[in-house]
Structures are given as C-alpha cells and as structure tokens.
Amino acid sequence: MGLSLALNTARASLAASSNQIAVSARNVAGASDPGYSRKIAALVTTGAGGAVVNITRATDAALYARTLSASSSAAYGDAVLTGLTTLARTVGDTDDASSPAARFAGFEAALQAAANQPDSTDLARAAVEAAKALAGSLNDAAGAVQAARAEADAGMQASVARINDLLGQFDRANAAVTRGLAFGADATDALDDRDRALTALSAEIGVTAVVREGGDVALYTDSGVPLYDRGARSVRFTPTATYAPGGTGGVVVIDNVPVTGPNSPMPVASGRLAGLAAFRDTIAPAYEAQLDAMAGGLIEAFAETDAIGFDSGPRAGLFTDGTSALLPGDRLGLARRIAVNAAVDPAKGGQLPLLRTGGLNGTDYRDLAAGTDASYAGRLRTLVSNLTAAQSFDPALGLGTAQSLADFAENSAGWIEGKRKDASEAAAYQKTLLSRANEALSNVAGVNGDDETALTLQLERSYTASAKIISVINDLLKTLLDTVR
C-alpha cells in the first residue's frame, strides 16, 4: 500500500470516527428526552477505500402505531372519568347529606314525623323545610350537570385549538423530513420532531398515520376523516358558553365533516376530544334526565284535584314547576325548576296548615277527607304513602320501570357510581397498556446510557488508532523527503 493511499484511508477513518463520536454524543444528550430516538451512525465504504457515515434512527413502526392507539384510548378514558368524577363528587354520593338520595330520605322522615303528630307546627315546618331542601338538592344537581357539560365544552374548545396547533407543528416537521430526505441530508431530528407532534396529537384525537413515498406522511382520524394530506385540514368548533336543560352543544368539524354529535357520519372514537364529547352529549344528559324524572315524580305524587267545583284538572300541590300551578307537560329541565309551593311556605307568606288540609290551589282543592279527621293525620299519611308508592319510569333511563322515588334516587346515584367505577377501571387498563407500549418502544428506539458510553470508548480508541497511523505516515514521509534532499 502506498503512503498516500494509507494516509487517505487513515484520514477517512479519522473523519468517520469523529462523526460517529458526535452521533454518540447526541444520543447521550437526548437520553432524557422521551421523544428522542437513538441515532445510528452506519459506515458506508467507498470505492477508494474510504468510508462515510450514514445516519439513521432506531424505530419500530408497529410498536409506534400501537403507542399512538394506546395514547388515544387512555386520553379518552381519562376525559370520561374526569367528568363522571365531577358528577359523582357533586351529586351522586348517597352518604352526602346534600345529595338527592339523602334528601329524599330526610324528607320522608320529616313528613312521617309530621303525620305522627299533626298538631305540631314545628314538625309541619320541618317537613316543609325538608321539602325545600329536597327541591334545592335537585336544583343544585341539575345545575352541576349543566356546569359539567359547559366544562366539557370548554375542554373540547381547548382540544380543538391544541389539534390545530399540533397539525401546524406536524406540517413544519413533515416538510423538513421530505426536504432532508430529498437532498440526502440527515433528517433524523426532523423525524423526531414529527413523531413528537404526532404523539401529542394522538392524545387529543384518534389518529392513523400513513407513510408515503419520499418520507411524506398522511394523517386520518380513527374514523377515516383526513387530518393532514400535504397540508393540515381545518378543524373547527363553535363553543357553547351556557347550557340550558336539553340543550345541545356544537359539533367538531374536520374538513367539512362533523366528527362529533349524534348526527356525525364519521364520529371519532378515541382521544380526549371524543371522551369530552361522549360525556357532554351522552352521559351528562342521561343523568339530567334521571333528575328530571325525580322532579316530575315528586310533583305528581303531591298533586291536588278539584273536589268541589268544575274539575279543571289536577294542580301542583306541595311541589310545583317553578311558579306554575299546572302540572308540567314536559319533564325536560324540571329538576332545574322544581320548587316548593309558596302557598305553604311561611318564608313566602304561605300557611303551614295547608300541608295537612290541602287546598294549596284554593278551597276547591281542599282535601274533603281532612275535614272529617280531627287530627288531620289522614292526609299526611296519604302524602307519605304517595311519596313511598311505586311509580312508573321510562325504561330508557336505565334504572328500572317501577319503584319508589327514594329507590329511584338511590339507583340513580348507584348508576353514576357504577359508570365512574367502570370508567376508572377502563382508564387504568388503558394507561397500563400505554405504559407497556412506551416501555417496549423505548427498549427498541430509546438510548441506553451504558451502551452509548461503551460505544464512545470504542470509537475513541479507533480515533486514536487512526491518528497514530497518520502520525506514523507523517514521520515516514518526512524521512523520505529528508533522504531525497
């Protein structure tokens, strides 16, 4: 081998070792970054006996796709669980004295005490106050549902803003990847940036990535709606600031296709956005309907009938639809409006004796049987019976068809707790899957500090050997030149 060829080979080896050491240093610096993938500096020999460094990165497409799916499912479960926990903590605990279920029990006990001692003004007042507390509990519970829906709606708005921002980041990174690959440059850092944006995006919405020629990637929702195809697609959402009973929220539209709401042809099924939409549009309204059913049952159980004059139909008795004396024709939003009849509420100028005699809607609605009962206990016992009697409920509410109001309230609280428990278990399972997927991907694409240190020491020895060869060749060339001179 001639000295010039040996020198060129040693110089090429020195440069290659230097580049490999630099790549190893990048790996060590990025070891603590969960979005960093290990870079691999592969030597490619040239025809002249030299070598160049080709930089790639460690990855596993199947594992990464599984990680994206797990991230979307975990975010969905967490969003649903957060909403259910809010409802369960606010209105669904039977041990909470302010919950509807506890208020039903308290009202029944107070009404029974008044029936046992009908001449006691204090017990009658306590019964009315218990009725007011029950109505207020239903009002508060319905208000909590609306507040939870509004909070979920605000979360959807934030999620849409985050999705649009991440799509912009993905677009910039994708352009850098395709440009770098086209010119043969090192695009591994741009690939990492693109994966970071995609991983964050998967937490907001279920997404599928399709790799195309030239390193370009197209993104679709888990339902097939394009999110990114050589450019980010528009994601729009109009928030609803305040929710009225039965109100519906705005839908998320991607590329002019609704992806949330009951009328969506291609609804997203995972991601935080889908979880928030499911809670806002399905779970919370279902609980609101149960509260409305409790309020409607109360009003009907205590309704009065015209016993003397022309019968114009039953009227609201102890409980009313707000300020109306008519029985509600529609139970929608009734839990938000139910109140105790002002005619029997001393705080509003009402008369307590009407509780035991009836006639909250006038003398024609007075209980005729109460006049023959000197103690007026009979009417109060009838009210207790009406309260504890089994009523018919819509099977669509999911709590059975025939039961007392108190049992219905307890079953409703159990429904919320059951939903919360199921959501908690599902969320924990999905988080475990995500943790395992991240761990498996990290084992393949992550950086092991010990391995990188050992590799660096090996590369340094190679660098030293190449430098030594160059030094020896330099001495030989100097000796040769001295001999010629």
For the chain, the three-class secondary structure string (H helix, E strand, C coil) is CCHHHHHHHHHHHHHHHHHHHHHHHHHHHCCCCCCCCCEEEEEEECCCCCEEEEEEECCCHHHHHHHHHHHHHHHHHHHHHHHHHHHHHHHCCCCCCCCHHHHHHHHHHHHHHHHHCCCCHHHHHHHHHHHHHHHHHHHHHHHHHHHHHHHHHHHHHHHHHHHHHHHHHHHHHHHHHHHHHHCCCCCHHHHHHHHHHHHHHHHHCCEEEEECHHHCEEEEECCCCEEECCCECCEEECCCCCCCCCCCCCCEEECCEECCCCCCCCCCCCCHHHHHHHHHHHHHHHHHHHHHHHHHHHHHHCCECCCCCCCCCCECCCEEECCECECCCCCCCHHHHEEECHHHCHHHCCCCCHHHHECCCCHHHECHHHHCCCCCHHHHHHHHHHHHCCEECCHHHCCCCEECHHHHHHHHHHHHHHHHHHHHHHHHHHHHHHHHHHHHHHHHHCCCHHHHHHHHHHHHHHHHHHHHHHHHHHHHHHHHHHHHC
Which pLDDT does position 455 carry in this prediction? Answer: 65
Token match 């208020």: residue?
Answer: 103
For residue 279 the two structure tokens come to 């809670």
Which of 132, 141, 84 is CA-nearest to residue 293? 141
For residue 410 the two structure tokens come to 């307890």
Which pLDDT does position 73 carry in this prediction? Answer: 94
Which pLDDT does position 368 carry in this prediction? Answer: 64
- Crossing angle of helices 405-445 and 284-301, rounded to 10°: 170
Q: Give φ, ψ of 339 to 5 degrees.
A: -150, 165
- Taken as a whole, the chain contains a residue count of 485
Neighbours of 138 (CB within 10 A): 27
Say if CB 153 and CB 243 are below 8 A apart.
yes
**pLDDT tens digits, residue range 258-288?**
999 888 899 999 999 999 999 999 999 999 9
Which pLDDT does position 232 carry in this prediction? Answer: 93
Which of 330, 300, 293 is CA-nearest to residue 318? 300
Which pLDDT does position 83 carry in this prediction? Answer: 93
Which pLDDT does position 51 carry in this prediction? Answer: 58
How far apart are the C-alpha atoms of 158 and 72, rounded to whole Å? 16
* Per-domain boundaries in the chain: 3-58+446-484, 65-433
Which pLDDT does position 376 carry in this prediction? Answer: 67
- Core vs surface per residue 257-288: b (16+ CB within 10 A) or e: bbbbbeebeebbbbbbbbbbbbbbbebbbbbb
Token match 């290659």: residue?
Answer: 16
Which pLDDT does position 204 carry in this prediction? Answer: 96
Token match 């429904």: residue?
Answer: 415
What residue ranges of the chain have pLDDT lower than 50? none
How far apart are the C-alpha atoms of 47 and 58, rounded to whole Å? 27
Query: CA 330 → CA 138, 246, 333, 438, distances in Å?
Result: 17, 11, 8, 51
Say if CB 182 and CB 144 are below 8 A apart.
no
Which pLDDT does position 161 carry in this prediction? Answer: 96
